[in-house]
Amino acid sequence: MKRNNKHRILENVLVEDYAAEGKSLARIDGKVIFIENAVPGDIVDVRLSKSKKDWAEGKAINFRQYASNRVTPFCEHFGVCGGCQWQMLPYEQQLGFKQKQVMDNLQRIGKVALPPFEPILGATDTRYYRNKIEYTFGNKRYLLPEEVGDPNLSAFQDVAGYHVKGLFDKIVDIRKCHLQAEPTNGIRLALKDYAISHNLSFYDIRNHVGFMRNVQIRYCRSGELMVNVIFGSEDEAQRVPMLDYLLELFPSITTLLYTINTKWNDSLFDLSPEIYHGKGHVIETLEDFQFKIGPKSFFQTNTGQGERLYQVTREYADLTGNEIVYDLYCGTGSIGLFVSRQARKVIGVELISEAIEDAKENAFLNNIHHAEFYAGDVIKICDDAFFSKHGRPDVIITDPPRAGMHEKLVEKILEIAAPTVVYVSCNPATQARDLNLLDAKYEVTRIRPVDMFPHTHHIENVAQLKLRG
Ligand code: SAH
């Protein structure tokens, strides 16, 4: 290992282990170096972006030797689009690392007694697993390192794909993405080609002008296909023929919407998608449950693995048919409805009122009449009056966002002392922190990670907790 201080480049670094958030690490003179886009076993040169007393971070910019277990990534955009960082690892190894990451977090941060882990539930489909994808149109293409400096090549090209991580105004021009089944690529490319051949402008995110902005595609295993084309301004004369063309080319589209977004950000929550064709939503199935998904609804993005995650959750809830179950952070109520046939009553709580409306509709759609849903902040809603009104919980299922549970909610759970808690988490670090707090009264009795996002570092983990006797 040689140090080149001037350019802050470390040469000949042997990558030793995995770290959090998809990075790997090496140790040099007692200092930990977090390294992006390398895996253990690689020998690389690292350009540091940050260097502190005990740790530093950077990116592998030159590979002197590849780890022997690497495989050839199947996607031509690997390493550029930033979406599937682990394609260079065999899937079994990705799973092994995810399991280890959960274990490390729960042991190191959680510091609680743990049962043996049940084996991680790997995905049956490691490609085409997303039911929802959003592509971005832009007027600035991300140039590959070998293209930079080519005087004949301008970055100002109309493209469609994904934002480059860390470079908000540049778009990776995607030819083929493997995350969603066809016609996902067909639809994106057709819109792009149509817009180029009709001289329609692509969104310029620096100046906030341009017609073609985003497209969202939801493809369900029920076969229903919803497309929402998002425009930067309204232009009916251009919009209508384009949408007609799309419908003609892809008759499998069951619902076509468009949305006019003149805001500075891409978020849909305060916009009004308009139905152009079809009923305006799709129906997705989990087991024999049906879920109505509109353009703004939240739903697990991997249907197959979502179903398995919920099966683990239901198993961990140990239901017999007599229980009052609380589904906290319930989103559109999917977990609560999924477990409802084994419960006496289900009470769901969620911050977003539109999601609660969806939850109620989904209950109705599935003929479930013993599930109630309430909109509001869990820490405000779940007070003594709420629990005495709806009944003391036998089982609390909690599925918080990445930040984990609010401490006040943890305190409330300890106070209310439901016999069983099932904690579904998308961030083992915050789950570990919360398990540590819950340890005051609860023992962790079962643990099972579930892989929802093959080729990424993301991991979902389900833990069963029982009140100590
Ligand atoms: N259980 C659902 C969704 C989990 S995602 C499912 O499986 O589909 C986490 C959810 O927590 C999101 O829907 C988010 O809107 C909600 N949320 C975040 N903070 C919250 C809070 N303070 N109170 C209630 N819900 C909250």
- Say whether both 153 and 45 belong to one domain: no
* Nearest atom (ligand 1) to Cα of 355: 13
pLDDT tens, residue by residue, 368-401:
999 999 999 999 999 999 999 999 999 999 999 9
Residues facing 65 on adjacent strands: 43
What is the share, in percent, of the chain residues with pLDDT greater than 70? 99
Residue 72 lies in a domain: no
Identify the CA nearest to 82 among candidates 227, 204, 179: 179
**Tokens, residue 33:** 């170096």
pLDDT mean over 56-84: 92
Output the six-digit token pair for 102.
């959960």
* Cβ contact 404:430 at 8 Å: yes
**pTM for the structure as a whole:** 0.92
- Give pLDDT, residue 19: 85
pLDDT at 21: 77
Whether 432 has a pLDDT exceeding 70, the answer reads yes
Instruction: Tell me the CA–centroid distance for residue 298 and ligand 1, in Å.
Output: 10
> What tokens does 374 get?
């309430």
Spatial neighbors of 201 by CB under 8 A, at least 6 apart, are 139, 158, 209, 210, 211, 212
Name every protein residue with a CB atom under 6 angstroms from any ligand 1 atom: 298, 300, 329-331, 334-335, 349-352, 355, 377-378, 399, 401
Nearest atom in ligand 1 to 424's CA: 1
Tell whether omega for the bond before 454 is within 30 degrees of 0, i.e. cis: no
Index of the ligand 1 atom closest to the CA of residue 330? 1
pLDDT given at position 386 = 98
Do both 331 and 448 map to the same domain?
yes
Ligand 1 centre distance from Cα of residue 401 (Å): 6
pLDDT recorded at residue 4: 54
Number of H helices, E strands in the chain: 10, 23
Which of 293, 301, 314, 350 is the best mutation target for the ligand 1 pocket, counting ligand atoms within 8 Å of the beta carbon and taking the most?
A: 350
Mean pLDDT of the chain: 95
Mean pLDDT, to the nearest integer, of 92-102? 94
Is 87 among the domain residues? Answer: no
Residue 55 has pLDDT above 90, yes or no: yes
Residue closest via CA to ligand 1's atom 10 equals 329
Spatial distance between the Cα atoms of 258 and 268, rounded to a whole number of angstroms:
11
Indicate which atom in ligand 1 lies nearest the CA of residue 298. 8
Same domain, 280 and 139: yes
Task: Extract the tokens encoding 140.
Answer: 């600035």
CA of 378, closest atom in ligand 1: 23
Amino acid at 331: G
Both 406 and 343 in one domain: the answer is: yes
Residue in the structure block whose two tokens are 């904690």 = 423
CATH of the domain at 397: 3.40.50.150
Does residue 320 sit within a domain?
A: yes
Domain assignment of residue 85, yes or no: no
How far apart, in whole angstroms, are the C-alpha atoms of residue 218 and residue 221?
A: 10
- The pair of structure tokens assigned to 393 is 């919980």
pLDDT tens-digit series, residues 199-210: 999 999 999 999
Assign residue 15 the CATH number of its domain: 2.40.50.140
106-128 tens-digit pLDDT: 999 999 999 999 999 999 999 99
Cα separation of 228 and 103, whole Å? Answer: 40
Average pLDDT value for residue range 403-430 = 97
Residue type, 111: K
Distance 80 CA to ligand 1 centre (A): 31
Residue 199, in any domain of the structure: yes
Q: pLDDT tens, 270-304? A: 999 999 999 999 999 999 999 999 999 989 999 99
CATH of the domain at 156: 2.40.50.1070
User: Under DSSP, is residue 309 helix (H, G, I), strand (E, B) or coil?
Assistant: helix
| C-alpha span between 413 and 188 (Å, rounded) | 46
Residue-range definition of the domain harbouring residue 30: 3-65
Which three-class secondary structure state does DSSP give residue 416?
helix
Give the mutation target among 292, 329, 330, 410 for probing the ligand 1 site: most ligand atoms within 8 A of CB. 329
Cα Dmax for the chain: 74
| Dist. CA 409–CA 415, nearest whole Å | 10
What is the rounded CA–CA span in Å between residue 348 and residue 339?
12
Structure confidence by residue, pLDDT tens digits, 1-22:
555 555 589 999 999 988 877 7
| 147 Cβ contact partners less than 8 Å away, ≥ 6 residues apart | 153
Residue 108 CA to ligand 1 centre (angstroms) = 26
29: confidence class by pLDDT, cuts 50, 70, 90: confident
32 close to 20: Cβ distance less than 8 angstroms: no
- The residue whose CA is least distant from atom 6 of ligand 1 is 331
In angstroms, the CA 15 to CA 37 distance is: 11
Q: Tell me, what's the pLDDT at 165?
A: 81
Integer Cα distance of 64 and 324 in angstroms: 59
Query: Tens digits of per-residue pLDDT, 175-199?
Result: 999 999 999 999 999 999 999 999 9
- What is the average per-residue pLDDT within 429-448? 98
Q: Nearest C-alpha to atom 22 of ligand 1 is from which residue?
A: 377
pLDDT at 303: 97
Separation between Cα atoms, residue 133 and residue 215, nearest integer Å:
8
Together in a domain, 117 and 162: no
Q: How far is the CA of 195 from the centre of ligand 1 (A)?
A: 37
- Domain contains 138: yes
- Supply the residues annotated as catalytic: 426
Q: Is 71 domain-assigned? A: no
Same domain? For 388 and 313 the reply is: yes
Same domain assignment for residues 335 and 407: yes
Q: Does 79 have pLDDT greater than 90?
A: no
Residue of the CA atom closest to atom 16 of ligand 1: 329
Which of helix, strand or coil describes residue 182?
coil
- C-alpha distances in Å from residue 19, one per residue of 37, 39, 104, 110, 447: 12, 10, 10, 17, 21
* 281 and 317, same domain (yes or no): no
Of 155, 153, 157, which is closest to residue 137 (Cα–Cα)? 157
Look at residue 5 in the predicted model and tell me its pLDDT: 55
pLDDT for 126 equals 97
Query: What integer is the mean pLDDT of 73-81?
Result: 92
Q: Strand 371-375: give its sheet, edge to edge.
A: 371-375, 345-350, 324-328, 395-398, 420-425, 460-467, 442-450
DSSP 8-state secondary structure symbol assigned to residue 211: S
- 126 neighbors 454 (Cβ within 8 angstroms): yes
Domain tally for the chain?
3
Same-domain pairing of 198 and 112: no
Determine the average pLDDT of the residues in 317-326: 98
Residue 166 and residue 355: Cα distance in Å, rounded?
Answer: 30
Going by alpha carbons, the residue nearest to atom 12 of ligand 1 is 331
Give me the sheet containing 167-173, strands edge to edge. 167-173, 159-164, 132-138, 212-219, 225-231, 255-260, 274-277
Put the strands of the sheet holding 9-14 in their side by side order: 2-4, 9-14, 43-51, 55-65, 31-36, 24-28, 17-18
C-alpha 378 – ligand 1 centre gap (Å): 9
Neighbours of 98 (CB within 10 A): 26
Same domain, 157 and 118: no
User: At what angle are helices 91-105 and 428-438 packed, to 10 degrees?
Assistant: 30
Cα 282 to middle of ligand 1, angstroms: 21
Q: What is the pLDDT of residue 144?
A: 87
**213, 259 Cβ separation under 8 angstroms:** no
Check residue 18 and give its pLDDT: 86
Q: What is the residue type of 148?
A: V
For residues 255 and 249, what is the distance between their CA atoms, to the nearest angstrom? 14
pLDDT digits (tens, 9 = 90+) for 130-167: 999 999 999 999 998 888 888 888 899 999 999 988 88
- The per-residue pLDDT for range 335-363, each reduced to its tens digit, is 999 999 999 999 999 999 999 999 999 99
**Same-domain check for residues 49 and 103:** no
At residue 16, the pLDDT reads: 94
